A and B are shown apart, each in its own frame.
Chain A
Amino acid sequence: MHARPAANFVKIAQQFKSDIYIERNGQTIDGKSILGILTLACPMDGLLTIKTEGSDAVAAMMALENLIENKFGED
């Protein structure tokens, strides 16, 4: 994932209390860590799994889904 969409992801993730994880190829990283996301090296059309755990997990998931549907706010 490129720096800009990664930054947008982290900024949204950080708004929630829940823990947010991204999983790809058996590797799990903290979705609130920009370095984590960058080093995940997910390509443009790659598959990844997002997990949210905590009191506002559903809201967090919706916000992140919304971000991804909007192509990470890139347009």
Chain B
Amino acid sequence: MTADQLEKTFVLKGIGVSPGIVIGKAYRFEPFDINLSFYKLNDVSLIPIEIQRFRKALKEAERQLLEIQQNVKKTRFNEPLLVIDVHILILKDKKFINHTIKNIRQLGINAEWALRMTLDHYKKIFDGVEDTYISGRISDVQYVTQRVLRCLSGKKRETIWDDSEPVIVIASDLSPADTAQMKMEKVLGFATDVGGRTSHTAIVARSMEIPAVAGLGNITRMVHSTNTLIVDGTSGLVIVNPYPDMLQRYEEKKLHYAAVKDEYLRHAKLPAITLDNYQVQIGGNIEFIEELPSAIAHGAEYIGLYRTEFMYITRDNLPTEEDHFNNYRHVVGVKDLLWSTIRTFDLGGDKFSANQKPVKEINPQMGLRAIRFCLQEVDLFKTQLRAIWRTSALGKTKILFPMISGVEEIREAKKLLQDTRNELLSKGVNVDSNMEIGAMIEVPSAVIIADKLAQEVDFFSIGTNDLIQYALAIDRANERLAYLYEPLHPAVLRLLKKVVDAAHEAKIRVAMCGEMAGDPTCCLILLGLELDELSMSHLAIPRIKRIIRQSSLKQAKALLKKALSFNTASEVRAYVQSFMMSHFPEEFQKEED
């Protein structure tokens, strides 16, 4: 494997067994990393000695399990006790012991080999059991076998991570004895090959309140201890080597996740209507269809931004029209959603795994990416457009073009959209008769000519992350500049106002789909701006809705007016922050907890 491959971004889908989001380094947990040697005993006189060795290993294994059990009893977490109980019973099971001894005696083989044969014997029996719970119990026999094998080899069990960094534990599966020996405060999350909601890993993770995804197939083969991972236990996803944008998005999600309280969820489905009866439509941003159930549970009324980049990144070849379609149709097929806005490819060509010779750009944020890249790679673009058209026949779909910087780009994109529509119609394929077309407003030039762009499209969607980065000339990834990244900068507020005014002048709707939309501190400013739609990480929705429901448009407009009167970003922030804290004390105290 080359260094390139090690750094490749890819996504693994499993079963989210413990909710939450965590980002960290992978740690491959390998309990069974002993080299076994199988050999024949070359003299009959060695047989009793071998049996003795086996019995000693059994004793040692039992001693270890009892010790672990004692340690577990000292913790607040008692679940493993019962499972360790079962393991001790297996260890002392006469059938299990006698089967192994019989093998040593009759076949003249060493204890390791004989024990291995016993395990295989039980594997066969358990495989024959129809009940999946029971057949899954072979894992208990395996753990016991492995522990005895380790004792036979004379190796001490590794005690883990006294001085290591916190890690995400990657394992095939984990037994209570495995987790009982881990320093839990060093474990950020779990990702396992096998298992489901009721597996031990899941139970431990839930009781420790750390995210976990199980049933990932073969993550242990695909991930190395140096990889960075995102574990999204809410949606059942593990993202390996996330690229910077994605990483940032998940850092954000993580914060929102921590702020969501159960009580919020009960009201999450209520509309975001102010006390003076002004409604803002609240949507969710997603990038994986697995996030849909969680988005709906958190109160998303529609999908305001469906990012499609992962389709290109996580595979070795380019996605086909069918690949696109098969993903999109899940999104528009959800009944509880008013509509879904699909954004076309928004990265540079270097992000394709399939792209053999990407050109190294010095400033990729301003490079050949998003709509610019798509307008050059027309075939690739049209594949996606065709799939979006086909999706539009199945449910309310809107299309959104990213990184529009001028009228030519939107016209060209629309022409390709029209071409693909005609192609499909001539083949008798159903499409929506008037799918709404939107432009992302994220390049400052687009703000300045917003009135012109408004004549070309049905709606705007403001991407604040890039807009702020471009307007303030701040590389978001540069930590030394983080202090300058300020959504409440007077220039940003003026840009936003200009976009909203231009849109409303042209009688089109204007949405925001950047991080700012989900930022509780900015909530009333955005309300005062009279944005029609706010689409955000779905985890941010419950809180934003609560704030809007407690506020009034009048109050928000007054706040905006005052905010626009300040000269410096720090004055705006100080004023807005103290306003929010004094008017919504409950919402903002919670942050301090």
Contact = CB atoms under 8 A, between A and B. Distances in A.
Interface of A: 2-4, 6-7, 10-11, 30, 32-36, 38-39, 41, 43
B130 interface: yes
Given A34-B86, A36-B95, A39-B122, 8 more contacts: A33-B94, A33-B96, A34-B89, A34-B93, A35-B90, A35-B95, A35-B122, A39-B134
A43 B90 contact: no
Interface string B120-141: 0010011001110110010011
B370 to A, nearest CB: 54
A42 to B, nearest CB: 9
29 contacts: A2-B133, A3-B82, A3-B137, A3-B140, A6-B86, A7-B85, A7-B86, A7-B89, A10-B89, A11-B85, A30-B94, A33-B93, A33-B94, A33-B95, A33-B96, A34-B86, A34-B90, A34-B93, A35-B93, A35-B95, A35-B96, A35-B122, A36-B95, A38-B134, A38-B137, A39-B125, A41-B130, A41-B134, A43-B131
Interface string B9-30: 0000000000000000000000
Contacts of A35: 90, 93, 95-96, 122, 141
A72 to B, nearest CB: 12
Pairs A-B, 9 closest by C-beta atoms: A34-B89, A41-B129, A33-B95, A3-B86, A7-B86, A41-B134, A39-B125, A33-B93, A35-B93
Interface string B88-109: 0110011110000000000000
B83 interface: yes
A10 B93 CA distance: 10
A32 B94 contact: yes
A30 B89 CA distance: 13
Interface residues of B, number: 21
Interface in B58-98: 82-83, 85-86, 89-90, 93-96
A34 B93 CA distance: 7
Contacts of B130: 41
A50 B90 CA distance: 21
A43 B134 CA distance: 10
Residue of A6, A32, A36, A39 with most chain B CB atoms under a 10 A cut-off = A39
Contacts of B140: 3
A39 B126 contact: yes
A6 to B, nearest CB: 8
B196 to A, nearest CB: 15
Contacts of A10: 89
Contacts of A38: 126, 134, 137
Nearest to A43: B131
A71 B292 CA distance: 40
A41 B131 contact: yes
Given A33-B93, A36-B95, A39-B126, A7 B82 contact: yes
A4 B89 CA distance: 11
A4 B94 contact: no
A35 B94 CA distance: 9
Nearest to B136: A3
A4 B200 CA distance: 13
A51 to B, nearest CB: 17
A6 B95 CA distance: 15
Interface in B503-547: none
Given A32-B94, A34-B89, A39-B125, A4 B82 contact: yes
Contacts of A36: 93, 95
A39 B121 CA distance: 12
A4 B85 CA distance: 9
Contacts of A6: 86
Interface centre among B83, B122, B134, B140 (most CB of A within 10 A): B134
B135 to A, nearest CB: 8
Contacts of A2: 133
Nearest to B82: A4
A18 B14 CA distance: 48
Contacts of B126: 38-39
Contact of B83 (A3, A32, A33, A34): A3
B134 A11 contact: no
A16 B495 CA distance: 83
B95 A30 contact: yes
A2 B82 CA distance: 12
Nearest to A39: B125
Contacts of B129: 39, 41
Nearest to A2: B133
A11 B86 CA distance: 10
Contacts of B85: 7, 11
A32 B86 CA distance: 13
B173 to A, nearest CB: 15
A2 B129 CA distance: 13
A39 B99 CA distance: 15
A6 B89 CA distance: 10
A36 B86 CA distance: 13
In this complex, which of A7, A35, A39 has the most chain B Cβ atoms within 10 angstroms of its Cβ?
A: A35
A38 B90 CA distance: 11
Of A30, A36, A38, the most chain B CB neighbours within 10 A belong to A38
A43 B130 CA distance: 10
A25 B36 CA distance: 39
Nearest to B121: A35
Contacts of A43: 131
B142 to A, nearest CB: 12
A40 B86 CA distance: 16
A10 B257 CA distance: 44
B537 to A, nearest CB: 40
B134 to A, nearest CB: 5
Contacts of A4: 82, 86
A35 B141 CA distance: 9
Nearest to A34: B89
Contacts of B141: 35
A4 B134 CA distance: 12
Contacts of B86: 3-4, 6-7, 34
B588 to A, nearest CB: 45
Nearest to A44: B131
